[in-house]
């Protein structure tokens, strides 16, 4: 496990559980206590957690990292996942996107010159919507050959730290919609399925799943083993998975047994 992956896992553990001890993290990550203490020091200096005697606790910023905090993590792996997801989109498709930095990467791929045109896009992600809006404005201004969606529907709702719109308004806007493909991000993934630290976001994700003919889960491999407060999809609700090459072998075996189509990017 790379140092960045290890520290992200530590941060997830602290945010999910509120507090952890050094010896627990050392056992979980299979590294020395000295390595864990060094990681905790670095994360504390970044203001992402607070070191205490024998361990660390949440810095008080909440259990959910902000969009900007997550965007820079595992960038290469997210790009590889997005490139593979790009190939799953046909011109004229109706697409839905949940919140998540990997979903934003997919939107960026789709709005490049030569991408599939005539898309209808439904999303509760402000950054995803922004990518499509910017592409449309650029095409109008510059006369370039950027692909343009037929329409972009951004749900209403309350904004979360991950720049998602959630709650009753978001859920109601999705109730009568039908899309061909949903790209579904997640805060955490494990044997039980996908999860998020935000119960409201979990409910809106379930509404997105209900609207989709095909559900494709997209996440980088660091999400495996992370458990958010609220589960929103078990693997039976997922038609396909696209994830990164860092996914451990036991996880690959489990997913290949539970999900019809699993793609591991290199």
Number of other residues whose CB lies within 10 A of the CB of residue 249: 7
- The answer to whether the CB of 97 falls within 8 A of the CB of 209 is no
Instruction: Check residues 113 and 210 and name the one with the higher pLDDT.
Output: 210
pLDDT the model gives residue 266: 77
Residue 59 has pLDDT above 90, yes or no: no
Number of other residues whose CB lies within 10 A of the CB of residue 76: 11
Between CA 29 and CA 27 the distance in angstroms is 6
Residue 37 has pLDDT above 80, yes or no: yes
Task: Provide φ and ψ at 155, rounded to 5°.
Answer: -65, 160
Q: Which range, of 62-66, 202-206, 250-254, averages the lowest pLDDT?
A: 62-66
Count how many domains the chain has: 2
Residue 63 has pLDDT above 80, yes or no: no
Q: Using CB atoms within 10 A of its CB, is residue 130 exposed (0-12), middle (13-18) or buried (19+)?
A: middle
- The answer to whether the CB of 223 falls within 8 A of the CB of 188 is yes
- 137 and 260 co-located in one domain: yes
Residue 62 has pLDDT above 50, yes or no: no
- Over residues 248-263, the mean pLDDT reads 96
Between CA 86 and CA 104 the distance in angstroms is 12
pLDDT the model gives residue 43: 83
pLDDT the model gives residue 103: 96
- 12 and 131 co-located in one domain: no
> Angle 78-81-85 (CA atoms, 0-180°, nearest 5)?
135
Between CA 127 and CA 130 the distance in angstroms is 5
pLDDT the model gives residue 38: 92
Task: Provide φ and ψ at 214, rounded to 5°.
Answer: -135, 130
Identify the domain boundary among 29, 58, 87: 58
Residue 66 has pLDDT above 60, yes or no: no
Q: What is the pTM of this model?
A: 0.74
Instruction: Check residues 61 and 239 and name the one with the higher pLDDT.
Output: 239
Does residue 129 sit within a domain? yes
pLDDT tens digit sequence for 87-114: 999 999 999 999 999 999 999 999 988 8
Q: How confident is the model at residue 11 (pLDDT cuts 50, 70, 90)?
A: confident
Provide the CATH number for the domain around residue 9.
1.10.10.10
Residue 249 has pLDDT above 90, yes or no: yes
What is the H or E stretch that residue 97 is in? strand 94-97
- 44 and 149 co-located in one domain: no
When the pLDDT of each residue in the chain is averaged and rounded to a whole number, the result is 87
- Residue 224 has what DSSP assignment? B
Residue 61 has pLDDT above 60, yes or no: no
* Domain interval for residue 130: 68-264
- 47 and 149 co-located in one domain: no
Between CA 223 and CA 235 the distance in angstroms is 15
Can you read off the two tokens belonging to residue 190? 């494990």
- 54 and 89 co-located in one domain: no
- 167 and 230 co-located in one domain: yes
Q: Which range, of 20-29, 139-148, 248-257, averages the lowest pLDDT?
A: 139-148
Residue 255 has pLDDT above 70, yes or no: yes
């Amino acid at each position: 496990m790379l140092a960045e992956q290890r520290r992200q896992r530590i941060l997830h553990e602290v945010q999910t559980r509120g507090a952890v001890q050094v010896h627990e993290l050392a056992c979980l990550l299979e590294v020395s206590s000295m390595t864990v203490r060094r990681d905790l020091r670095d994360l504390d200096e970044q203001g992402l957690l607070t070191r205490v005697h024998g361990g660390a606790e949440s810095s008080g910023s909440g259990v959910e990292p902000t969009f900007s905090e997550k965007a820079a993590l595992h960038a290469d792996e997210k790009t590889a996942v997005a490139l593979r997801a790009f190939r799953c989109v046909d011109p004229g498709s109706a697409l839905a996107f949940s919140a998540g930095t990997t979903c934003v990467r997919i939107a960026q791929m789709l709005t490049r010159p030569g991408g599939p045109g005539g898309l209808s896009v439904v999303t509760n992600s402000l950054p995803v919507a922004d990518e499509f809006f910017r592409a449309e404005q650029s095409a109008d201004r510059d006369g370039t050959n950027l692909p343009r969606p037929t329409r972009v529907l951004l749900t209403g709702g309350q904004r979360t730290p991950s720049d998602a719109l959630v709650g009753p308004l978001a859920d109601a806007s999705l109730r009568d919609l039908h899309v061909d493909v949903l790209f579904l991000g997640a805060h955490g993934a494990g044997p039980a399925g996908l999860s998020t630290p935000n119960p409201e976001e979990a409910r809106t994700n379930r509404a997105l799943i209900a609207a989709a003919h095909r559900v494709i889960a997209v996440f980088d491999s660091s999400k495996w083993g992370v458990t958010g407060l609220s589960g929103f999809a078990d693997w039976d609700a997922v038609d396909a998975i696209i994830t990164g090459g860092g996914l451990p072998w036991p996880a690959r075996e489990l997913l290949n047994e539970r999900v019809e189509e699993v793609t591991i990017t290199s």
